[in-house]
Structure 1
Amino acid sequence: MKYRILLWILWPSFLVSGLAEGFLFSFVQPDDLVFFGHHPNISDEGIYTLGFFAIWIFCALSSALTTYILPGIDTDSAGKDRGVL
């Protein structure tokens, strides 16, 4: 059951982060980014990659919070009553 919950968290957040990154970088060019007054010395692909993983982490945290507060999910006893592994 733990792997199923992990899949419920990571897969939707992966899909949404792909869409969010496409939307974000449609408006923001990597050459325009400035952090603390300096342009990062990273290639455009590196900025896209870091942006994707940052967005994915935030989306995964959101999905994990939703899974945590969802009533009826107990990883220790879920499936034992029904004979499901």
Structure 2
Amino acid sequence: MEAGIMVTGPYDNATVLDTIDSLDIDVIFLPSVWPETYSYTLSLALRSARPIVVFDIGAAARRIRGLPGHKLIPLHYNGWKINNAILELLP
């Protein structure tokens, strides 16, 4: 909480977009390092019309590659490199 991070709890498909809107989220970071074959969470994030940051691996990377306003980051990024990648998407 001191760092400005808040856990909002579990979500469901019916309320997640309303939650994102109510929290005025600027960027969605999906930190999966597993090469998923599909990501329902990414589907919801795309519906939110927010910039998305994902590691360049698996289905999430394939689905946002080339889409404007989103960012792929190398799998080896950590700490400040992730932070800077997210900050690049802020207005």
Structure number with higher relative contact order (C-alpha < 8 Å, ≥ 6 residues apart): 1
Query: Which is richer in helix?
Result: 1
Q: TM-score, length-normalised on structure 1?
A: 0.19
Larger radius of gyration: 1
Query: Which is richer in strand?
Result: 2
Q: TM-score, length-normalised on structure 2?
A: 0.19
